[in-house]
Amino acid sequence: MRKEEYVSCLAEAVLTCPDIWIPQLTHYEWLLLQKLVKAGANTYVEEPNMIMTSTLELLSFVATDRGLNGDKIRYMICDELREAVAPHIDKFLTSTEENSRFVLEQYALGILNLYGLLPYTEFLKQLTGYLKGSMTKDEIAKGLSNSMLMRQLTFDIEDIYNSVMYVRSPLLLEVEDLEERLYAHRAIKSLKKFTVEEVLSAGTMPVFYISNPHSDQLKGFMMRKLGYNEELAEAKIQWLWYAIQMDENPMSAIVSAIDTKVLSMQELQEVVGIAVNYCNDCPRWFLKGHSSTEASALLGRGESVKTPPRIVAGPTMKAAGMDITPKMQTMVDGMFYDTFSGTKIGRNDPCPCGSGKKYKKCCGRDN
Segment 138-185, tens digit of pLDDT = 999 999 998 999 999 999 988 778 899 999 999 998 999 999 999 999
Closest C-alpha to 143, from 199, 88, 100:
100
CB-based contacts of 238-244 (< 8 A; 24+ apart in sequence)? 238/51, 238/207, 238/208, 238/210, 239/51, 239/70, 240/275, 240/278, 240/279, 241/210, 241/212, 241/282, 242/51, 242/171, 244/279, 244/282, 244/284, 244/354, 244/355
Q: What is the pLDDT of residue 13?
A: 86
Residue 331 confidence (pLDDT) above 80: no
Q: How far apart are CA 153 and CA 200, in angstroms?
A: 18
Question: Which domains, from first to last, does the chain contain?
Answer: 3-93 (no CATH), 96-202 (1.10.10), 215-361 (no CATH)
On whether the CB atoms of residues 275 and 218 are closer than 8 A, the answer is yes
SS (H, E, C) 263-290: CCHHHHHHHHHHHHHHHHCCCCHHHCCC
Residue 32 class from Cβ within 10 Å (0-12 exposed, 13-18 middle, 19+ buried)?
A: buried
Q: Give residue 116's pLDDT band: very low, low, confident or very high (50, 70, 90).
A: very high
| Global confidence as pTM | 0.78
Sheet containing 117-119: order of strands: 117-119, 163-168, 154-158
On whether the CB atoms of residues 51 and 241 are closer than 8 A, the answer is no
Residue 291 neighbours by CB distance under 10 Å:
21
**Pick from 35-49, 250-264, 283-297: least confident:** 250-264
**Pick from 82-91, 193-202, 282-291, 355-364: least confident:** 355-364
**Pick from 87-96, 141-150, 181-190: least confident:** 87-96
**Pick from 7-11, 204-208, 306-310, 360-364: least confident:** 306-310
Say which residue, 353 or 207, is predicted with more confidence: 207
Say which residue, 70 or 320, is predicted with more confidence: 70
Q: What is the pLDDT of residue 254?
A: 83
Residue 311 neighbours by CB distance under 10 Å:
18
